[in-house]
């Protein structure tokens, strides 16, 4: 299976048409993915329903997973105000009927923030929650995954603590996690997975991979004031379809 991360209705449409099994809905993928707007999530849920109804090539309706991350930054440590914001987001999206949440929080020592993670798990219940790549910043990955399992997360998204999951050290850690923890939590490799290396992860034994299947689109430069990045990511239907062919069991 394949989870495709997207941050626009256009990318959602392309991912669905390409055969994505799950959609991870974010805003601002150029910042690593933040909580999406309610309007985007609602429109994607309508799109999923309508495309599944009319496209007979879709074997199943793609699942809708929502990122919960109220701000950018690489620390993943959240204040009470930030947690209140994200807990409110969880409550809103539960009412939408989404399939999964994606969240992660760390302490100042780059360990799992058990207190805040437990608050999210409790608020999300019974909807499952993925612990995202904040795991890749943890100083002790074995202790971290043990904590993640104990808290009740059902999936871990990780690049194996490297920039790309295809890195040799990353593959070593990912394989270790799969061998020792897959009976307790689903391990989903992500970051740098593309058509050139996707099959490797299937052959190792992973049941699901994570990719944006993106192309970069440059926006026009307007004026001489910096009003944000002029680069956006757009999921490519052709790349999604090719990835699905590659990871299909032989």
For 129, the enclosing helix (H) or strand (E) is strand 129-131
Phi-psi region of 34 (alpha: psi -120 to 50; beta: other; left: phi over 0): beta
Range with lowest mean pLDDT among 19-23, 40-44, 205-209, 211-215: 211-215
Distances (CA, A) of 231 to 29, 71, 219: 10, 19, 6
Exposure of 199 by Cβ count < 10 A (0-12 exposed, 13-18 middle, 19+ buried)?
middle
Identify the band that residue 32 occupies on the pLDDT scale cut at 50, 70 and 90.
confident
Per the model's pLDDT, the better-predicted residue between 65 and 226 turns out to be 65
| CATH 3.20.20.380 is right for the domain spanning 2-247 | yes
What was the pLDDT predicted at 95? 95
Identify the band that residue 60 occupies on the pLDDT scale cut at 50, 70 and 90.
confident
What was the pLDDT predicted at 224? 63
Q: How far apart, in whole angstroms, are the C-alpha atoms of residue 202 and residue 79?
A: 39
CA triple 175-243-66, angle to 5 deg: 75
What was the pLDDT predicted at 30? 81
What was the pLDDT predicted at 145? 98
In sequence order, which residues have a C-beta less than 8 Å from that of residue 197 and are 6 or more positions away?
A: 166
What mean pLDDT is predicted for residues 107-124? 97
- Nearest to residue 191, comparing CAs of 201, 182, 204? 201
Q: Coil, helix or strand for 43?
A: helix
Task: For the chain, give the percent of residues with pLDDT over 90.
Answer: 82
What mean pLDDT is predicted for residues 136-161? 97
- pTM of the complete model: 0.91
Range with lowest mean pLDDT among 18-27, 41-50, 52-61, 63-72: 52-61
Structure confidence by residue, pLDDT tens digits, 159-190: 999 999 999 999 999 999 999 999 999 999 99
What is the domain partition of the chain in residue ranges? 2-247
Average of per-residue pLDDT values in the chain = 92
Q: How far apart, in whole angstroms, are the C-alpha atoms of residue 42 and residue 187?
A: 28
Structure confidence by residue, pLDDT tens digits, 68-90: 999 988 889 999 999 999 999 99
For residues 152 and 126, the answer to whether their CB atoms sit within 8 Å is no
Asked if pLDDT for residue 248 goes beyond 90, the answer is no
Task: For the chain, give the percent of residues with pLDDT over 70.
Answer: 93
Cis peptide bond upstream of 80, omega within 30: no
In sequence order, which residues have a C-beta less than 8 Å from that of residue 4 and are 6 or more positions away?
A: 11, 15, 18, 20, 22, 23, 24, 210, 211, 212, 213, 235, 240
What was the pLDDT predicted at 37? 97
Q: How far apart, in whole angstroms, are the C-alpha atoms of residue 123 and residue 126?
A: 9
Structure confidence by residue, pLDDT tens digits, 188-243: 999 999 999 999 999 999 999 999 998 877 766 766 655 556 677 899 999 999 99
What mean pLDDT is predicted for residues 49-71? 85
């Amino acid at each position: 299976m394949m989870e495709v991360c997207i941050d626009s209705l256009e990318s959602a449409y392309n991912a669905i048409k390409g055969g994505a099994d799950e959609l991870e809905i974010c805003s601002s993928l150029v910042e690593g993915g933040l909580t999406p707007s309610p309007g985007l999530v609602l429109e994607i849920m309508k799109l999923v329903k309508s495309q599944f109804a009319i496209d007979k090539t879709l074997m199943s309706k793609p699942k809708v997973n929502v990122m919960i991350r109220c701000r950018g930054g690489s620390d993943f440590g959240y204040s009470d105000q930030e947690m209140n914001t994200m807990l409110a987001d969880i409550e809103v999206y539960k009412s939408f009927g989404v399939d999964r949440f994606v969240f992660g929080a760390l302490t100042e020592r780059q360990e799992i923030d058990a207190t805040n993670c437990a608050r999210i798990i409790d608020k999300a219940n019974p909807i499952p929650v993925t612990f995202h790549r904040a795991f890749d910043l943890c100083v002790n990955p074995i202790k971290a995954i043990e904590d993640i399992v104990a808290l009740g997360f059902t999936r871990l998204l990780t690049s194996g603590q490297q920039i790309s999951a295809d890195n040799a050290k990353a593959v070593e850690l990912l394989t270790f996690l799969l061998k020792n923890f897959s009976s307790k939590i689903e391990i989903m490799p992500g970051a740098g997975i593309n058509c050139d290396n996707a099959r490797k992860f299937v052959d190792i034994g992973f049941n699901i991979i994570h990719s944006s299947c993106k192309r970069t689109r440059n926006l026009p430069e307007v004026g001489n004031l910096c009003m944000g990045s002029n680069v956006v990511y757009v999921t490519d239907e052709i790349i999604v379809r090719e990835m699905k062919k590659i990871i299909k069991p032989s």
